[in-house]
Every structure is written in structure tokens, then in C-alpha cells.
Amino acid sequence: MAAVLDSVRAFFAPNPTFTIGAETPADVVARENLLDRAMGPDRRLKSSEKIRRGRVPAEGLALVARDTAGHVIATVRLWNIEAGISPDGQPIEALLLGPLAVDSAHEGKGIGGALMRAAVTEARGRGHGAILLVGDSAYYERFGFFADKTRHLVMPGPFERSRFLALELKAGWLEGAAGMIVPSGRKLA
Ligand SMILES: CC(C)(COP(=O)(O)OP(=O)(O)OC[C@H]1O[C@@H](n2cnc3c(N)ncnc32)[C@H](O)[C@@H]1OP(=O)(O)O)[C@@H](O)C(=O)NCCC(=O)NCCS
């Protein structure tokens, strides 16, 4: 029944006002300007930034939303990390999501949500086990992110525990995960 309803909704949906796709090198300036506007100059002081600095995003997981003219109006990137170690001492590969930002002129149109769902789908399709992030739980819980999965993990710097959230893409992936988040992605050339 749900599938039928979805196809009916899709059939009657108005023309989309944005599209989601992979970020390209030509998008970098627009993305950085968007992040400066959306998050302010302090964005580079965040603990998450320590994990991103000097690294490239996880393969296939730098996404943008574009308006009908092709301008970048939203961005999200995910990064390879080790989310502490398992009870038997093995590093746990996972992803850190962020930053997510939508141009203020386009907020409240479902673009952030669409970008989140696209990122989660792509990460799952690529076989990743879990996604972590630091953000407002009131926003991210709707996508399945909760703080209970990170309770024995720490960021490499100050963070609010109630904002340190995770979504398991494979059941039990973060079971017993403990320790510090460290970057494990490819370094920038
Ligand atoms: C947060 C952000 C990504 C949301 O993007 P968006 O495209 O406006 O989001 P959507 O249209 O998919 O969803 C809008 C809904 O999310 C809610 N929402 C937005 N930000 C929220 C927050 N921080 N906490 C709780 N709810 C939030 C809105 O109230 C709205 O609720 P409704 O559907 O009940 O009306 C965007 O506002 C943004 O870029 N903000 C500045 C950068 C930022 O703070 N990024 C990190 C987020 S912690």
C-alpha cells in the first residue's frame, strides 16, 4: 500500500525546484561561501573540523543540492573515521557527517532533509556501518540519529554529549564502541 501511495504522490508532485548530486571541483568556492554564510567564521574552530582538516571526504559522499539554474544551495559531506575500538580491540570504521548547510533563502523547503536522506542512502549503498555527527538532536532524530550510540565515544576536543549522535546502518555496528574519534580518510595531496 505504501508503495502505491508513494507512486501516486510522485506522479502528482510539482516540478522539483532542486536536484541533488555529487559535488564537483567547480562547486568548491560556492560551497565554502555557503558554509561561511550559514555557520559563521567560527565554523573552523569546531572539534569536527580537527577530523576533516587535511583530508578528502569519503568516496562518493560529498553531495550538493542545486537550484534549477545549477547554483549550489546546500551541501553535505561525510568523512572516514575510526569510531573508537570494539570490545575485542579492533578499530571501528565509520563516517562523520558534516557540515550540513542549506542557503538561508531556501530553508524550510525540505532540502536539508532530502540531502540527509540521500547521504544516508548513498552511505548504506557503499557498505558503511554507521554515521556519526555533532548537531541538534531535535533536527537529526527524524533521520534516526541518537546519542545513546555514542555514549562511550569522545570527540578530539570540546563537544556537547547530547549533540553527539549516531545512526547505525548495520545493526549493532557501534555495540561496545569506546574511545576517541580519529580521522582515517585519505589525506589531501
Ligand atoms: C538545519 C538546516 C540544515 C535545515 O535545512 P532545511 O532545508 O531548512 O530543513 P528541512 O526543510 O528539511 O526541514 C525543516 C524542518 O526542520 C526544522 N529544523 C531546522 N533546524 C532545526 C534545528 N536546529 N532543530 C530542530 N529542528 C530544526 C524546521 O523547524 C522544520 O520543521 P518542520 O518540518 O516541522 O516545519 C538549515 O536550517 C541550515 O543550514 N542551518 C544553518 C546551518 C546549521 O545549523 N547546520 C547544522 C544543523 S545542526
Q: Whose CA is nearest to atom 21 of ligand 1?
A: 139
Decide: 135 and 98 in contact? Cβ < 8 Å: yes
Ligand 1 centroid to residue 148 C-alpha, Å: 22
pTM value?
Answer: 0.93
- C-alpha cell recorded at residue 142: 527524524
> For 145-176, what is each residue's pLDDT tens digit?
999 999 999 999 999 999 999 999 999 999 99
Has residue 110 got a pLDDT over 60? yes
> For 8-50, what is each residue's pLDDT tens digit?
343 444 567 999 999 999 999 999 999 999 999 889 888 899 9
Ligand 1 centroid to residue 133 C-alpha, Å: 15
Ligand 1 centroid to residue 114 C-alpha, Å: 11
- Residue 120 CA to residue 22 CA, distance in Å, equals 14
Return the pLDDT at 15: 62
Of 1, 173, 163, 175, whose CA–CA distance to 97 is shortest? 163
In the chain, where the domains are located: 13-183
Ligand 1 centroid to residue 149 C-alpha, Å: 22
Section 91-117 average pLDDT = 97
Q: Domain 13-183: which topology?
A: Aminopeptidase (3.40.630)
Return the pLDDT at 16: 78
Q: Is the distance from the beta carbon of residue 118 to the nearest atom of ligand 1 less than 6 Å?
A: no
Return the pLDDT at 10: 38
189 — pLDDT class (breaks 50, 70, 90): confident
